[in-house]
Amino acid sequence: MSKNIYAGHAFICTDIAWDTDGEDINLPTEMSVFLGDEINDSEIIEELLCDYLSDTMGFCHYGFDWETVDFNDAVQVARYNALKR
Confidence of residue 85 (pLDDT cuts 50, 70, 90): low
Separation of alpha carbons 60 and 23, rounded Å: 13
Phi, psi of 71, rounded to the nearest 5 degrees: -70, 0
Residue 1 lies in a domain: no
- With residues binned 3-state (H G I as helix, E B as strand, rest as coil), the percentages for the chain, rounded to 5, are 30, 35, 35
Residue 65 lies in a domain: yes
Residue 57 lies in a domain: yes
Separation of alpha carbons 70 and 23, rounded Å: 35
pLDDT at 12: 95
pLDDT in tens, 31-68: 999 887 777 788 999 999 999 999 999 999 999 999 99
pLDDT in tens, 67-76: 999 888 889 8
pLDDT at 7 over 90: no
Residue 23 lies in a domain: yes
For the chain, what is the domain count? 1
**66 bridge partner residues:** 13
Residue 39: give the domain boundaries.
Answer: 8-83
